[in-house]
A and B are shown apart, each in its own frame.
Chain A
Amino acid sequence: MMTTDAWSEAFREAGALAVTRPDYKRTGLELSAHLPPESLIKAAERLYSEGFSLLFITTADFSEGFLVTYVFDSFTEHKRLALRVLAGDRKDPRVPSIAHIFQGAEWHERESYDFYGVIFEGNPNLVPILFPGDDPIPPPHPKSQEAIASIRKLGFLGEAEWAVAGWELAPEPAKPAAEAKPAAKPADKPAAEAKPADKPVAEAKPADKPAAEAKPAAEAKPADKPAAEAKPAADKSAAEAKPAADKPADGGKEGGK
């Protein structure tokens, strides 16, 4: 039987990016480990060897990507542990399957595949489970652009007791309301942004309209200015300036299988 501290150490060895210890009284979880996809199988194998069983898999849609949470509990003692993997690419979310360790995971993974279109690589039978197979429908669960939230907003990732240096699952979104608004004013050139492609700025909705207005080709040149501006203050306004943060939110809607 392993203590929670020992599990923290074990996940670290398995290659976790960060380990957090949520408040058990409030969340019902003793330990939560954030793993890169490639470490998931190693951690799952460890859990199996210690007599843990997979309770369920929750997939949730965030602006950072699909957060896949595996909740385990032991048969002999009560200890609820969670493994989390972020499938960041919304167009092609991929997570390795653990169905060869916990055969019960096959169905849970297929359910996530149905609802969100997350592809579990190595699942022996990745076909719809609750939805019709003859008449495939696009996954209905991804959030709309208005409803989607950032993982950071939930606040349960805050207190990592240990993390890889510089690791951040949900980078600071640069004080969206306060800073994005002045930038959005038509008079302000940076609002137009370098690439018209990343028009929908997820965190600063009011920015959308003026940005669309101010798009004319004339802006194309001054574009390098805001880019230069963004660099020095990378830590703060990075999320705004980086197309990577917003673009996937676009593609998630049609996210076909």
Chain B
Amino acid sequence: MSNFTFLNPFAVLDEPGTYMGDFFSNNFAKKAQAGNVILNLGPQHPSTHGVLRVIVELYGEYVLRSEPILGYLHRSHEKMAEHKTAYGFLPNMGRVDYLNAIGWNWAYTAACEQLAGIEPPERAEYLRVIAAELNRIASHLVWWGAFVLDLGAFTPILYAFDDREWICDILQRVTGSRLTMNYFRFGGVGADGDDRFFSLIREFIPLMRERLKMYKALVTDNVILRRRLEGIGPMDADLCLRYGATGPLVRAAGVPRDVRKSVPYGIYDRFDYNIPVSPVNDNFGRYWVRMEEISESLKIVEQAVERIPPGKIIVDKAPKPAWKLPPGESVYSVEGARGEICVHVISDGGKSPYRVKLRAPGFSNLSVFAEAAQGTILADAIAILGSLDLVIPEIDR
């Protein structure tokens, strides 16, 4: 195909003084075929939304092989958990995934509650659902803006951040922060919503629905966007199963799996909403699933705001900061914006948890990339990467 011969800078590894690249690029280059180009994207590449690095082997413009390199944002959250009290680890949960802090709040809090047998009061459950669903919408909005930005459209991200601003304002009233939210407590939530909180939500819901119509006309129905998405990056159910991909990836692959329905945690069984399942498993399927989820989340928030009962927001005698987890283990899953967030807590009854494992959905979702991007052109590989909705701090933990 190509008449050019590309020198492979990694092929001369054995000669002293000609060392190039780092461990990972050399490790990747071992399996490269002579004449192909090895291209390094990241970790400071604008298309990767953070410090993700991907090494690709190209034949012309075609991706033969690729390997994501992680760890540039590893902060040892799991090890930190072993040195803090169970309560003291709560703020970390807002920092694992900055776009979906509430999802992580829920997974960790509930894993500990499950082990200790604590049941939060009714009003706290409603507040949890409202916060989690609003957070999901905010997360999807940022993804939407950034994904379309990857594909070359600059305007949508400005609209997306405009809407997200509403959600930040709403959640700020109860959580006290706009990004690294630490709202959940063992046995309830940290603060009750005031009148302004609920009136802002009531204002936001119809507004967001109008905006979704505009998004559809402006972006979803745009022929350029469709050409970039349709038929690109198919991922079938078996691929998702082998890699442990969850969330919008499996729902785009036609599997109606959503933890909110399959294991109704909290009070999700009381609401009327659908799980969008896409008939096509390409980039557009994943795009469509997330856009539909925004309107489904709005439905849940609307019902929750109508039905929320008065009452306590935290159990009496809620665990104090020095509270010790009872011995045993506990696995708890919640449906985060990116997929199944799972926290595995092992406790020996001591001051701090013995082991906390954080299962990040983005970690498993990203592992699909190498196989899904094989044989596509580089620009499409970037589109596939964007469609996975990656948040690097969550992947690296």
Interface residue ranges, A against B (CB under 8 Å): 22, 25-29, 48, 51-56, 58, 60-61, 69, 71, 73, 75-78, 80, 82, 101-107, 115, 125, 127-134, 140-141, 143, 147, 149, 153-156
Contacts and interface: CB of A to CB of B under 8 A. Distances in A.
A25 B263 CA distance: 12
Contacts of A130: 70-71, 74, 396-397
B367 A107 contact: yes
A73 B335 CA distance: 14
Contacts of A78: 262-263
Given A55-B342, A56-B342, A106-B367, A155 B71 contact: no
Given A128-B71, A129-B71, A134-B23, A26 B117 contact: yes
Given A29-B331, A104-B244, 16 more contacts: A22-B329, A26-B115, A26-B117, A28-B111, A55-B359, A58-B355, A61-B355, A77-B262, A78-B262, A102-B244, A103-B367, A128-B71, A130-B397, A131-B71, A134-B22, A147-B82
A27 B329 contact: yes
Given A26-B117, A60-B346, A131-B74, A51 B328 contact: no
B2 interface: no
B255 interface: yes
Q: Considering residues B27, B344, B396, which has the most beta carbons from chain A within 10 angstroms of its beta carbon?
A: B344
B242 interface: yes
A127 B69 CA distance: 11
Contact of B357 (A22, A48, A51, A56): A56
B242 A127 contact: no
A206 B113 CA distance: 35
B324 to A, nearest CB: 13
B348 interface: yes
Q: Considering residues A76, A130, A132, A141, which has the most beta carbons from chain B within 10 angstroms of its beta carbon?
A: A130
Contact of A60 (B241, B327, B354): B354
B253 to A, nearest CB: 9
Contact of B330 (A26, A61, A155): A26
A53 B396 CA distance: 21
A131 B23 CA distance: 11
B330 A153 contact: no
A154 B263 contact: no
11 contacts: A26-B117, A27-B328, A27-B330, A48-B241, A48-B242, A56-B359, A73-B340, A75-B250, A78-B263, A103-B371, A154-B328
**Number of contact residues on B: which range applies?**
35 or more
A48 B243 CA distance: 11
Contacts of B115: 26-27
A210 to B, nearest CB: 26
A25 B119 CA distance: 12
Given A58-B344, A69-B344, A149-B354, A133 B327 contact: no
A51 to B, nearest CB: 7
A26 B114 contact: yes
B186 interface: no
A80 B331 contact: yes
B349 interface: yes
Contact of A149 (B329, B333, B348, B359): B348
A86 B242 CA distance: 24
Contacts of B368: 104
A80 B263 CA distance: 11
Given A78-B262, A103-B367, A140-B76, A28 B328 contact: no
Contacts of A125: 27
Interface string B11-23: 0000000000011
Q: Considering residues A48, A103, A134, A153, which has the most beta carbons from chain B within 10 angstroms of its beta carbon?
A: A103
B24 interface: yes
A53 B241 contact: yes
Interface string B367-397: 1100100000000000000000000000011
B347 interface: yes
Closest 6 CB pairs of A and B: A133-B23, A104-B243, A28-B331, A104-B244, A56-B359, A130-B71
Contacts of A143: 82
A149 B82 CA distance: 13
Interface in B234-277: 237, 240-245, 250, 255, 257, 262-263
Contacts of A48: 241-242
Contacts of A26: 114-115, 117, 328, 330
Nearest to B365: A104
Contacts of A53: 240-242, 244
B332 interface: yes
Contacts of A128: 71
A122 B344 CA distance: 26
A103 B79 contact: no
